[in-house]
């Protein structure tokens, strides 16, 4: 490995994996005060997927990681970065177990905690590792088991979130190559940390010696308040990345936003002036899969033909923290692998 800090990170593999269990809107109608019509019209979601009992984030990450390595035609990397808000345990990180299960040897491996913006933060970590010269190949995974933290009786969250994993492989290369990750913008605003949270289980609640209340171990979200932040922050970060990329809005062939809500993705596109037909979407089939959302969307879109080599792609994500980000790349000629049980 050389020490050339100018070298770029090039996307050479991409994959998504969605577990077999499904929860349809009809399933939710049967147990919650909600309707298929409300969920579809307010979120764009028709179903979400859940892991089988005993399966958690490590297994999802391994499935997506294995497929991404296959997509890249590799059996080794120098580092594994796992974005997840649902690690298998609070301590240790899940990434070392994922690296071991993938047979990658004693490579660097760590988790990134930036919830729904996690994949872009993990991507930035991978890009940074390559630029700094301490890795030539990095496996970047987003994997989530939100079914483990969502209260199935809470209609605010149960209708939205699903389990899945997605991953990309980065290799050191030149900034002009197709697949080279362009400018990345990341941001946060911790003054709104209470808008999406799990109140119990962390050091704060434990140090206070308080007894968690019912629901405190579940994800709690003030959706309406989050909505406005999501739209504004993603649009702003995307604008900054456009500027730094030297692209105009008209140059954007595909807008790939974190799949939080179809209305938010469309609102971001409208705010930017990107035509709606250029917006990639798979939320109808998978819901909001947090850190898995963007790599899964890329894998689905590329394998389904909605994303083609040469397309200029603008990425944006937003989530709890609050944390957000945006990035750009020109899509490379890569064999995307997406395994969805619902496709048979
Ligand atoms: N089924 C039926 N009705 C529901 C419902 C559900 N699952 N959830 C809320 N409602 C009701 C509300 O009680 C409210 O009723 P009211 O008008 O009588 O008070 C009405 O629907 C509208 O509620 P509101 O919360 O304003 O809905 P919304 O249009 O904002 O949609 C979200 C709710 C959660 C889908 C939306 O706010 C959202 O997507 N927020 C952002 C999520 C996000 O980005 N998260 C962070 C990134 S992961």
What residue spans define the domains of the chain? 1-344
State how far the Cα of 181 lies from the Cα of 195, in Å rounded to an integer.
31
| Per-residue model confidence (pLDDT) at position 214 | 86
What pLDDT, on a 0 to 100 scale, did the predictor assign at position 60?
A: 97
Task: Kindly report the protein residue whose alpha carbon is nearest to atom 33 of ligand 1.
Answer: 223
Q: Is the shortest distance between the CB of 287 and ligand 1 below 6 Å?
A: no
Query: In a mutational test of the pocket of ligand 1, which residue from 31, 195, 227 has the highest number of ligand atoms less than 8 Å from its CB?
Result: 227
**CA atoms within 13 Å, Cβ hemisphere of 119:** 34
Catalytic residue among 49, 116, 218, 261: 116
Q: CA 299, 301, 307, 313 torsion: positive or negative?
A: negative
Say what the pLDDT of residue 343 is: 53
CB of 205 within 6 A of ligand 1: the answer is no
Task: State the architecture of 1-344 in CATH terms.
Answer: 3-Layer(aba) Sandwich (3.40)
Q: pTM value?
A: 0.96
Residue 266: per-residue pLDDT: 97
Which ligand 1 atom is nearest residue 196's CA? Answer: 46
Is the shortest distance between the CB of 288 and ligand 1 below 6 Å?
yes
The CA R_g of the chain, rounded to the nearest whole Å, is: 19
What is residue 6's predicted lDDT score, i.e. its pLDDT?
66
DSSP-derived secondary structure for 62-100 = HHHHHHHHHHHT-S--SEEEEE-SS-SSSSS-SHHHHHH
Mean pLDDT by 10 residues, the chain (344 residues): 66 96 96 97 97 96 98 98 98 98 98 98 98 97 98 96 98 96 98 97 92 93 94 98 97 98 97 97 97 98 96 98 98 92 49
At 326, list the tokens: 């945006």
- Check if 150 has its Cβ closer than 6 Å to any atom of ligand 1: no
User: Active site includes 258?
Assistant: yes
The pLDDT value given to residue 5? 46
What was the pLDDT predicted at 341?
52
Q: What is the pLDDT of residue 313?
A: 98
Verify whether residue 116 is a known catalytic residue: yes
Ligand 1 contacts CB of residue 226 (under 6 A): yes
121-151 burial, b at 16+ Cβ within 10 Å, e below that, comes to bbbbbbbbbbbeeebbbbbbbbbbbbbbbbe
Contact yes or no for 15/74 (Cβ under 8 A): no
């Amino acid at each position: 490995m050389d020490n050339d800090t100018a070298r770029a990170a090039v996307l050479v593999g991409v994959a998504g994996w969605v577990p077999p269990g499904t929860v349809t809107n009809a399933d939710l109608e049967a147990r919650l005060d909600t309707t298929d019509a409300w969920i579809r019209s307010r979120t764009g979601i028709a179903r979400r997927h859940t892991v089988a009992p005993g399966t958690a984030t490590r297994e999802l990450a391994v499935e997506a990681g294995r497929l991404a390595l296959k997509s890249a035609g590799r059996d080794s990397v120098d580092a594994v970065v796992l974005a997840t808000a649902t690690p298998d345990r609070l301590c240790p990180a899940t990434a070392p177990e994922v690296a071991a299960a993938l047979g990658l040897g004693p490579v660097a491996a760590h988790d990134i905690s930036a919830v729904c913006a996690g994949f872009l933060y993990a991507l930035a970590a991978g890009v940074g590792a390559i630029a700094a010269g301490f890795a030539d190949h990095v496996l970047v995974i987003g994997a989530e088991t939100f079914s483990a933290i969502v209260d199935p009786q809470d209609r605010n969250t149960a209708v939205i979130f699903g389990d899945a994993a997605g991953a990309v492989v980065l290799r050191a290369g030149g900034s002009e190559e197709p697949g080279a990750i362009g400018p990345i913008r990341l941001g946060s605003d911790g003054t709104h940390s209470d808008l999406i949270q799990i109140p119990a289980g962390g050091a704060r609640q434990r140090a206070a010696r308080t007894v968690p209340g019912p629901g405190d171990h579940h994800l709690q979200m003030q959706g309406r308040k989050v909505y406005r932040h999501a739209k504004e922050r993603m649009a702003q970060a995307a604008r900054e990345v456009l500027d730094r990329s030297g692209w105009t809005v008209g140059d954007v062939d595909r807008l790939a936003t974190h799949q939080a809500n179809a209305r938010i993705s469309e609102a971001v596109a409208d705010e930017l002036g990107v035509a709606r037909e250029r917006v990639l979407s798979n939320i109808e089939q998978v819901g909001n899969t947090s850190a898995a959302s963007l790599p899964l969307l890329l894998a689905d879109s590329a394998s389904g033909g909605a994303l083609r080599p040469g397309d200029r792609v603008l990425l944006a994500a937003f989530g709890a923290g609050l944390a957000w980000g945006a990035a750009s790349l020109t899509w490379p000629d890569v064999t995307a692998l997406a395994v969805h049980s619902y496709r048979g």
